[in-house]
């Protein structure tokens, strides 16, 4: 069975997909973990399988033609659609529904597919939109990685980080509306929007709010660094942001480190506390038992990201947050059990085992398709496709320099698999599950688990 695990953002997705691949290994499957466009480029040499991810759609739901979906179906693949951000939305519940409707249309799926959602809220909404595809509440496995059973997977990395930086507080940015990696044209992308007054004013409103909040977080980081010179403050930009902005505004401040190396998991697990506004990492830190502070000097219900901001302690002024950091050793961690019931409706991980929930669906589909004829690409075909793509990217850099910012943006999110790093992760997965995993490093875009 071919099992495709597409990746858009390495630092967000690689660990849980390696763990999922490890759990499914040893059953005779061919598991492909790779950059999502590269996986699609191999499709002409594949027959039959499962596609587990969200990268089949590249446009807003109202404009999506489903071309990738139909390519996969033509090659005998069924889809297990796993959303990456199914509960972390701005505004009120009506806005959440609009955001979900904007992102994907469940009516495109058929009865052989499975739609895996974060919580009951998302399931209830999607059931009003489509009754053909089975919908399952599974949460998202990446949140499960913060549970005690996965501690050994990160132990070495956490130790390395702590030895290098000592005591540190992690501050996470989430301000792509104001500081997108592609520039302001991503916030104001289409001249036609100027004719849609409501859409144009909404974008201006978001830009104003997130710019103000971003600058407030920059000020906070500078103030904390001056107030607590013996603490290190790791500022971690969102993958979609322009990281150079932060390297400029924090230039040469000795105890402020702008860092986006590797998955965020080890950085959260090694931190004394996490400071954020509207960032998914607050949920991750809460599950890990790491103290969380939500710093929000400006409140706007239209822009507030409720689920993330329901985690941890609240601070609205510099004085409040200085007092909290000054008393960091006595922090009270968020009690998941007493969170608003709506949080549990939005995210299954707050009460259930996401890996097991997803894996049961995958195993059911594997059994359903076990008699289907399978074809997998030869290694020579994989390397030929890789060479073609590398040549295309090189040509774009030379012949279309206006695309350089977009290429750099994508390279920040998917910077390529490092063979040594992947080997370390596979070895840790082997120890975690007590089994040998046969795997192959093909190139910076693809690794496979071969049995």
CATH code of the domain covering residue 289: 3.40.50.2000
DSSP run (H or E) holding 446: strand 446-449
Residues 301 and 207 in one domain: yes
**How far apart, in whole angstroms, are the C-alpha atoms of residue 411 and residue 240?**
11
Q: Is 271 helix (H, G, I), strand (E, B) or coil?
A: coil
Query: Beta strands 30-35 and 2-7: pairing type?
Result: parallel
Residues 375 and 329 in one domain: no
Q: CB–CB of 277/300 below 8 Å?
A: no
DSSP run (H or E) holding 449: strand 446-449
Q: What is the dihedral of CA 327, 329, 330, 332, to 10 degrees?
A: 110
**How far apart, in whole angstroms, are the C-alpha atoms of residue 148 and residue 141?**
14
Q: CB–CB of 102/68 below 8 Å?
A: no
pLDDT reading at 230 higher than 80? yes
Residues 212 and 310 in one domain: yes
**How far apart, in whole angstroms, are the C-alpha atoms of residue 150 and residue 144?**
8
DSSP run (H or E) holding 442: strand 439-443
Q: Is 364 helix (H, G, I), strand (E, B) or coil?
A: helix
Residues 314 and 401 in one domain: no
Q: What share of the chain in percent tops pLDDT 70?
A: 98
The confidence band for 190, taking pLDDT boundaries of 50, 70 and 90, is low
pLDDT reading at 406 higher than 80? no
For residue 343, is it within any domain? no
What pLDDT score was predicted for residue 194? 62
Out of 282, 309, 336, a domain closes at: 336
Q: What share of the chain in percent tops pLDDT 90?
A: 82
Q: What is the dihedral of CA 413, 389, 442, 85, to 10 degrees?
A: 30
For the chain, how many residues are written? 451
For residue 190, is it within any domain? yes
Helix axes 10-24, 419-433, angle to 10 degrees: 40
What pLDDT score was predicted for residue 192? 53
Across residues 271-286, what is the average pLDDT?
96
pLDDT in tens, 110-152: 999 999 999 999 999 999 999 999 999 999 999 999 999 999 9
What pLDDT score was predicted for residue 331? 80
Residues 319 and 175 in one domain: yes
**Residues 6 or more apart from 391 whose CB is under 8 A from it?**
none
Residues 121 and 176 in one domain: no
Residue 83 CA to chain centroid, in angstroms?
A: 9
**How far apart, in whole angstroms, are the C-alpha atoms of residue 207 and residue 210?**
5
What pLDDT score was predicted for residue 61? 87
Residues 128 and 170 in one domain: no
List the structure tokens of 176.
Answer: 């792509």
Starting at the edge strand found earlier in the chain, the sheet holding 114-117 runs 135-137, 114-117, 77-82, 49-53, 2-7, 30-35, 446-449, 439-443
Residues 193 and 122 in one domain: no
Residues 168 and 286 in one domain: yes
Give the chain's mean pLDDT: 93
**Structural domain for 168, as ranges:** 154-336
**How far apart, in whole angstroms, are the C-alpha atoms of residue 298 and residue 24?**
46
**CATH code: domain of residue 19:** 3.40.50
What pLDDT score was predicted for residue 18? 98
**How far apart, in whole angstroms, are the C-alpha atoms of residue 40 and residue 68?**
8
For residue 341, is it within any domain? no
Count of structural domains, the chain: 2
pLDDT reading at 278 higher than 60? yes
- DSSP letter (8 states) at residue 235: E
Starting at the edge strand found earlier in the chain, the sheet holding 232-236 runs 256-258, 232-236, 168-172, 273-276, 292-295, 313-315
**How far apart, in whole angstroms, are the C-alpha atoms of residue 421 and residue 163?**
19
Q: Is 437 helix (H, G, I), strand (E, B) or coil?
A: coil
The confidence band for 233, taking pLDDT boundaries of 50, 70 and 90, is very high
Q: CB–CB of 7/18 below 8 Å?
A: no
Q: What is the DSSP string of 52-93?
A: EESTT--S-TTT---HHHHHHHHTTEEEEEE-SSSS--BSSH
Out of 302, 336, 370, a domain closes at: 336
Out of 311, 336, 361, a domain closes at: 336
Residues 169 and 283 in one domain: yes
- DSSP letter (8 states) at residue 29: -
**How far apart, in whole angstroms, are the C-alpha atoms of residue 412 and residue 296?**
27
For residue 421, is it within any domain? yes
For residue 429, is it within any domain? yes
For residue 148, is it within any domain? no
pLDDT in tens, 407-443: 788 888 999 999 999 999 999 999 999 999 999 999 9
Residue 420 CA to chain centroid, in angstroms?
A: 22
Residues 250 and 123 in one domain: no
Q: CB–CB of 226/203 below 8 Å?
A: no
Q: Is 261 helix (H, G, I), strand (E, B) or coil?
A: coil
What pLDDT score was predicted for residue 338? 82
Residues 181 and 322 in one domain: yes
For residue 363, is it within any domain? yes
For residue 342, is it within any domain? no
pLDDT in tens, 325-369: 999 888 877 788 889 999 999 999 999 999 999 999 999 999 999
């Amino acid at each position: 069975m071919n099992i495709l695990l597409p990746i858009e953002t390495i630092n967000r997705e690689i660990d849980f997909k390696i763990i999922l691949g490890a759990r499914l290994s040893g059953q005779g499957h061919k598991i492909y973990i790779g950059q999502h466009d590269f996986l699609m480029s191999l499709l002409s040499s594949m027959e039959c399988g499962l596609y587990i991810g969200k990268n089949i759609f590249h446009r807003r739901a109202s404009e999506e033609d489903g071309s990738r979906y139909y390519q996969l179906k033509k090659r005998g693949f069924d889809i297990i659609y796993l959303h990456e951000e199914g509960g972390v939305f701005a505004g009120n519940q009506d806005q959440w529904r609009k955001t979900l409707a904007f992102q994907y249309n469940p009516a495109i799926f058929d009865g052989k597919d499975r739609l895996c959602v974060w919580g009951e809220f998302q399931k209830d909404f999607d059931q009003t939109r489509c009754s053909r595809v089975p919908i399952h509440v599974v949460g998202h496995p990446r949140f499960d990685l913060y549970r005690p059973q996965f501690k050994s997977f990160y132990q070495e990395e956490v130790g390395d980080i702590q030895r290098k930086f000592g005591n540190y507080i992690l501050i996470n940015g989430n301000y792509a509306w104001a500081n997108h990696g592609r520039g302001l044209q991503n916030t104001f992308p289409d001249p036609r929007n100027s004719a849609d007054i409501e859409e144009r004013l909404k974008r201006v409103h978001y830009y104003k709010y997130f710019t103000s909040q971003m600058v407030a977080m920059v000020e906070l980081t500078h103030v904390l660094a001056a107030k607590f010179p013996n603490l290190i403050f790791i500022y971690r930009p969102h993958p979609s942001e322009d990281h150079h902005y932060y390297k400029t505004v924090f230039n040469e401040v000795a105890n402020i480190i702008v860092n986006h190396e590797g998955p965020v998991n080890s950085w959260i697990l090694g931190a004394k506390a996490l400071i954020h506004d509207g960032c998914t990492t607050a949920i991750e830190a809460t599950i890990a038992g790491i103290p969380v502070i939500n710093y929000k000097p400006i409140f706007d219900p239209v822009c507030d990201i409720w689920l993330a901001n329901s985690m941890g302690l609240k601070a609205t002024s510099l004085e409040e947050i200085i007092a909290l950091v000054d008393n960091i050793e006595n922090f009270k961690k968020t009690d998941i059990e007493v969170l608003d019931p709506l949080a549990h409706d939005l995210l299954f991980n707050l009460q259930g085992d996401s890996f097991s929930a997803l894996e049961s669906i995958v195993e059911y589909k594997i059994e359903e398709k076990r008699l289907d004829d399978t074809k997998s690409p030869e290694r020579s075909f994989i390397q030929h496709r890789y060479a073609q793509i590398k040549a295309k990217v090189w040509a774009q850099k030379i012949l279309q320099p206006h695309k350089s910012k977009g290429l750099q943006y994508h390279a920040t999110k998917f910077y390529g698999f490092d063979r040594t790093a992947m080997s370390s992760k596979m070895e840790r997965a082997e120890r975690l599950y007590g089994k040998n995993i046969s795997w192959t490093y093909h190139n910076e875009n693809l690794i496979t688990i071969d049995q």
